[in-house]
A and B are shown apart, each in its own frame.
Chain A
Amino acid sequence: EAEVAQSPRYKITEKSQAVAFWCDPISGHATLYWYRQILGQGPELLVQFQDESVVDDSQLPKDRFSAERLKGVDSTLKIQPAELGDSAMYLCASSFPGDGTYEQYFGPGTRLTVT
């Protein structure tokens, strides 16, 4: 069964350093989402792509966060510089808009710890 791939699974970084996460959605899924999940809370949407275009980045802290999906397939989320409050699980999801189910398929996530 096709899955959403994410790497790394765990990342420890010092504050003020740069960090990047990678996501490879299910093949053929045009929509890709990045979520942030703080411990004890539900996932919060950071950015949504339709192919290579950003559909929604209203909750993305653009002073330090950036996201790209250059060829409309895999995607990278970057944080520079990282802050202590960025410690969280970063989840990637993808969906196929044309199937009518609006179901999002989630990857295993990247657990970020900022020290």
Chain B
Amino acid sequence: AQSVTQPDIHITVSEGASLELRCNYSYGATPYLFWYVQSPGQGLQLLLKYFSGDTLVQGIKGFEAEFKRSQSSFNLRKPSVHWSDAAEYFCAVGGTTGTASKLTFGTGTRLQVTL
């Protein structure tokens, strides 16, 4: 069975500081990996995704993530955080069921940004 672990429930960073959110996954084959962001009371917005190829993936809003197969990790990074980045971040692993994907989400990391 596929699973995702986000070990940090809550992270606080200062505006302008760098950010790294951790994600570890369990999946029996090559995974499809995603990072989503959720603002309070809103749905989920896709930040970036990894399927194959280059292990460093660029996303929207200046985010990037690196797939490390040996560590079963897909950590999200941003060099300089903005106050508007405060939100909940979810890592997800996908597996195909026929022609559609089934996503399993982690429990999320809440990011607080101090000014």
Contact = CB atoms under 8 A, between A and B. Distances in A.
Interface string B75-101: 000000000000000101010111111
Nearest to B46: A103
Contact of B44 (A55, A56, A91, A97): A91
B45 to A, nearest CB: 7
Contacts of A93: 44
A48 B102 contact: yes
A104 B103 CA distance: 9
A77 B104 CA distance: 20
Q: Which residue of A106, A107, A111 has the most chain B CB atoms within 10 A of its CB atom?
A: A106
A55 to B, nearest CB: 6
B51 interface: yes
A3 to B, nearest CB: 9
Q: Which residue of A30, A41, A98, A103 has the most chain B CB atoms within 10 A of its CB atom?
A: A103
A91 B107 contact: no
Given A42-B90, A101-B49, A107-B43, A56 B102 contact: yes
B108 A104 contact: no
A112 B92 CA distance: 24
B41 A40 contact: no
B42 interface: yes
Interface residues of A, number: 28
Q: Which residue of A42, A102, A106, A107 has the most chain B CB atoms within 10 A of its CB atom?
A: A42
Given A42-B90, A43-B44, A109-B43, A98 B102 contact: no
A106 B49 contact: no
A95 interface: yes
B105 A42 contact: yes
A103 B45 CA distance: 11
Interface of B: 4, 32, 34, 36, 41-46, 49, 51, 90, 92, 94, 96-108
Interface of A: 4, 30-31, 40-45, 48, 50, 55-56, 91, 93, 95, 97-98, 101-109, 111
